[in-house]
Amino acid sequence: MPPKRGLIAGHRRHTAVIAALVTCSTILAGPSPASAGGAPTPSGPAPRLDWSQCVSGSEFDCATAKVPLDYDDPGGRTIELAVVKRKAADPGRRIGTLFFNPGGPGGPGTVQMPQNYESFPREVRERFDIVSWDPRGIGNSTAVNCFGSPQEAADWKASKATGFPVGEQERADFTAAYEELGRRCEQRAPELVRHVSTADTARDLDQLRQAVGDQQLTYYGISYGTYLGATYANLFPGRVRAMVFDANWDPRAWTNNASDEAPRTTSFQRLGSGLSAAETVNRFLTLCGSRTTAHCAFSAGSPKATQDKYDQLLRRLREEPVGPWTYAGTVADVVNSLYVVQPGATKLAARLQDLWKGRVPEPSPLPPPPLVPHPDPYLGEEQSTAVFCGDSPNPRDPAVYHTLAEEAAVRAGDTGRFWIWASAGCASWPAVAEDRYRGPWNNPTAHPILVVGNTYDPSTPLSAAQAMAEELADARLLTHDAVGHTALFNPSSCVQAHESRYLIDGTLPPPGASCRQDTPPFSPVKPSGGVSTGGGGMARTVT
């Protein structure tokens, strides 16, 4: 999942255990897709990908794929998918294509894969072309856009509180803003918003797999991308070569157990995001308080004193914001800043100290744009909202959200409120996806899936990774003792060694394997490695 209004906006500012003796490795040659019960290929040929250099001087190639808007009507309207590729660094040893989804929903892969290419293990970059794409409805693909101009979109965003609403008036404004968004989207994109489901995107992914000539899919998905991967694995189980799910969504929780009854709570509450975020913030404050101010600017000399200082700061901000920094906006910034803790945690501590002193923090610089044609596409909130509100049931009564948020705050404090309100746009969303996939999640796949979960994640709890591994027919869980969202962006050379061996030759970690983060928050930045369960043939310094 994403920063901004929770993880649902993408990172744009940005997996049955079987006997150890026979499951440590699986050779990835695989049966034909049909032999494992793969779903039939959508009718019609695979899209043509005419690759060309994205822009002059770029090491990435770009292409556009045309796919059906509605796979039940393959001869009808088509839409475009923007696609990007980085060729295998060692073409003589190339295995195939690794498809990457950066999460969200709403993450534009054509921007985020080039921006984060070096995060992939060196061995993976050498052996695979790495391909990503902007999913349907998102970014540079045929996108959901419910406003007539950038100014209209900016005005709508400004009409509601940052983070989440506090007080009766802000709640009324929040509700009104999302009601307006729903009306606008129904008027401007009524057909498209009904065909941006995860199942639609999984079918797009299978079309792209065919287009690059791979018989089976090799895939790395983070956050929402794990749910997309689970959907693909159960729609096309015979086509699974290797899939890494990093920072997982529990598919049964996300679909409300495929129930047709009105949901009692929100998508992210079922997932456990609020409590996971609270535990992550507490871990951040504990680590900060265990260091001096030279390492963590917000430290008050001990974990308890630092926690007390943080609580006092939030109470102060509720009464008196510091410039534009409100209580709710600060909570949102805290959650989002703990997605990538190097350097996010250090910079967050400095901002909190500025607020403590009554100073408006300096804005953090944006990362440099990648060398692609459109590095800053429109990514309005309606794009992520269209996907997850169409897929995942949420309460339809706007008045319920305040009650749910205060109930969540009893268990998870401020982050409980944040993650409840992250689903508020669904209360008045006008569309349910015409083609949702709601299970089963245990269709036997041609090869096993590797599931990775962090112990302290501000968005996706370890319990969701444990659930994903249990719900899939054949998966292995790798636990990452780490702070942050995803192992990809909060790296461990141990995790990367396991992922490399799995993606290259099918070797799974042993049951119960765990790894540690290379550089936890406020620790000296230095390489560490070795596979904790016994050696590390591919363990290395993260580049």
Q: What pLDDT, on the 0 to 100 scale, is given for residue 8?
A: 30
CA angle 421, 265, 428 (to 5 degrees): 60
What DSSP string runs through 491-511?
Answer: --HHHHHHHHHHHHH-BPPPT
CB distance 173 to 160 below 8 Å? yes
Could you tell me the pLDDT band of residue 44, with boundaries at 50, 70 and 90? Answer: low
The mean pLDDT of 98-110, rounded to a whole number, is 97
Q: Which helix (H) or strand (E) holds 315?
A: helix 303-319
pLDDT at 1: 52
Q: What is the pLDDT of residue 525?
A: 59
Mean pLDDT of 370-383: 95
pLDDT for 29 beyond 50: no
**pLDDT classification of 45: cutoffs 50, 70, 90:** confident
Residue 524 is predicted with a pLDDT of 74
- For 293-324, write each residue's pLDDT tens digit: 999 999 999 999 999 999 999 999 999 999 99
* Residue-level pLDDT at 5: 34
pLDDT confidence bin for 342, thresholds 50/70/90: very high
CA dist 77 to 66, 68, 135, 188, 351, Å?
Answer: 10, 6, 17, 16, 49
Give residue 365's pLDDT.
86
3-state secondary structure of 131: strand
Q: What residues have CB less than 8 Å from 369, skipping those under 6 apart?
A: 111, 375, 376
What does the pLDDT average to over 419-423? 98
Contact 60, 92 (CB under 8 A): no
With cut-offs at 50, 70 and 90, classify the pLDDT of residue 229. Answer: very high
Query: In 10 A of CB 155, how many CB atoms?
Result: 11
DSSP three-state, residue 220? strand
| Lowest mean pLDDT, pick from 12-21, 61-70, 110-119 | 12-21
Strands (E) located in 273-332:
none
Whether pLDDT at 531 is above 60: no
pLDDT digits (tens, 9 = 90+) for 251-269: 999 999 999 999 999 999 9
- Residue appearing with tokens 């027919």: 473
Q: Is the pLDDT of residue 279 over 80?
A: yes
Residue 109 pLDDT class (50, 70, 90 cuts): very high
Q: Over 80: is that where the pLDDT of 40 sits?
A: no
Evaluate if residue 376 carries a pLDDT over 80: yes
pLDDT at res. 36: 34
Q: How many CA atoms lie within 13 A of 48 on its CB side?
A: 1
For residue 486, pLDDT over 90 is answered with yes
pLDDT band per the 50, 70, 90 thresholds, residue 273: very high
pLDDT higher than threshold 80 for residue 395: yes
3-class DSSP state of 109: helix
- The H or E element containing residue 478 is strand 475-483
pLDDT in tens, 54-89: 999 999 999 999 999 999 999 999 999 999 999 999
In this structure, are residues 459 and 247 in contact, taking their beta carbons and an 8 Å threshold?
yes
* Nearest-5° Cα angle at 382, 378 to 385: 130
Q: Are 335 and 277 in contact (CB under 8 A)?
A: yes
- Mean pLDDT calculated for residue range 463-480: 98
Q: How confident is the prediction for the chain on average, in pLDDT? A: 90
Q: Summarize the confidence of residues 88-94 as an average pLDDT.
A: 98
Rg (CA), the chain: 22
**Strand pairing of 240-246 and 217-222?**
parallel
**What pLDDT was estimated at residue 352?**
98
Three-state SS string over 429-477 comes to CCCCCCCCCCCCCCCCCCCCEEEEEEEECCCCCHHHHHHHHHHCCCEEE
List pLDDT tens digits, range 396-406.
999 999 999 99
pLDDT score, position 431:
93
- Judged against a pLDDT cut of 80, whether residue 516 lies above it is answered with yes
Structural tokens at position 459: 């968005």
Q: Over the stretch 120-165, which tens digit does the pLDDT of each residue have? A: 999 999 999 999 999 999 999 999 999 999 999 999 999 999 999 9
Cβ-contact 9, 381 below 8 angstroms: yes
Cis peptide preceding 251, ω within 30 of 0: no
Q: Residue 12: pLDDT above 50?
A: no
What pLDDT sits at residue 526?
55
pLDDT of residue 499: 98
